[in-house]
Amino acid sequence: MKKILFGTTALLAAGAFVADAQASEPVKLQLGGYYEYFVVGAKQDSDWGSIASNRANNFDVQGEGEIYFKGSTTLDNGATIGVMVQLEAGTDNNTDGNNTNDVVDESYMYVSGKYGKLMLGSVDNAAYLMRAAAPNASYMEVDDTNTSYLLKPGAVNDIITDVGFDGDGNKITYMTPKFYGLQGGITYTPSNASSGDDSLAKSERIEKAADADDYWAFGLTYDRTIGDVGLLLSAGYTIADINTTNTRKTNMEDFSGGINLTYAGWTVGGSVRRVLQSFSMDTTSSQGWAWDAGVMYAEGPYAVSLSYRSSSTEGSRTDADEDTVSMIALGGKYALGPGVDLFAQLATADYSDEGSVKSDSNTAYGGLVGIHLDF
């Protein structure tokens, strides 16, 4: 009943946004997006790399890009209705080269006005959208479980500070208006199979907790400028109800918090995330901690940052130790012109499996140089 009530309330709210209003012009789609390519060199640990299936070249050319179709119209009552569709642009630097299986990354509609913003469709949840994290001057995130050139062994479980388990599954999200810098948000992600594990369509299920019946996310931010200092605080909570069989986890939840401080070109900040699991007969777990911290300085066309990320994950329930990951990166970029950035990164990562097999752990280091285009 609460699921039906929330969905009905959200649709009624959308009606209140746009009631008795006419659009001055129809929605017209605009083209946008980004593209980046970079050359990268890296060295993996010899014990890990000595396994035939782990061998990797020390040099590569990689890239990533998306094309956006977006549009909006403003009604006579001041409400704005819009749409966003993000297409993968034939590249994927984290998984399978140019053969990515994802054609559409995100696609959603939104209504915004004096009562806040309502989103329907495939998009990140409110806790993720409202989070503060470590600043980064380059376009390669260290807060990623699949960093493209610092290769993570499959035996190592890793969590990042990104909040939630629902990915881009279809959802309902509402964000309140800002009130003296304070803003809240709530997301509900359903599965159209009553027992979860919806195999009808990937976009219809909760992607990273595929047997979940439903999923909730809550976000809160405080964003103010006090004198010459900018302050951004964030908090998030998410929970997935995984209630299908006694061999699966009964629920997953996580808590997060973050802060950014800005002053005279400097940005200092970071975030922390705690993932909890209740499970019965599962042999592995993603329960653990993740945190990041960093500092960035930007002036004119230049920006440079130093960031660090660490995670500790339970992994196997039969082992008393934990899988650990630590990563540090020095990044920078220089604006060559409007929408054209030259960027670079030097980074190292240590992936440690809780077991005693050396080939299940890896210490890697490397760097990259590339060009990022926004259009």
In the prediction, which pLDDT does 154 show? 78
Region 329-348: mean pLDDT is 96
Q: How many angstroms separate the CA atoms of 63 and 84, rounded?
A: 23
CB 126, CB 10: distance < 8 Å: no
* DSSP for 263-288, written as a single string: ETTEEEEEEEEEEEEE-SS-SEEEEE
In the prediction, which pLDDT does 339 show? 94
Range with lowest mean pLDDT among 139-148, 200-209, 259-268: 200-209
Range with lowest mean pLDDT among 214-223, 227-236, 313-322: 313-322
CB 232, CB 219: distance < 8 Å: no
Give 251 or 337, the one with higher predicted confidence.
337
Model confidence band, residue 202 (pLDDT cutoffs 50, 70, 90)? very low
* DSSP for 345-370, written as a single string: EEEEEEEE-SSS-GGG-EEEEEEEEE
What residue type is 318 in one-letter code? T
Residue 54 per-residue DSSP state? G
Cα→Cα distances 212→34, 124, 128, 242, Å: 33, 17, 19, 4
pLDDT at 349 over 70: yes
Give 2 or 200, the one with higher predicted confidence.
2
Q: Give the residue extent of every domain in the chain.
A: 2-374
Give 300 or 14, the one with higher predicted confidence.
300
Domain 2-374 CATH assignment equals 2.40.160.10? yes
Conformation bin of residue 149: beta by default, left when phi > 0, alpha when psi is -120 to 50: alpha
* Beta-carbon count within 10 A of 355 CB: 15
Region 220-234: mean pLDDT is 97
What is the chain's Cα-based Rg? 22
66-108 pLDDT tens trace: 999 999 999 888 899 999 999 988 655 443 334 445 678 889 9
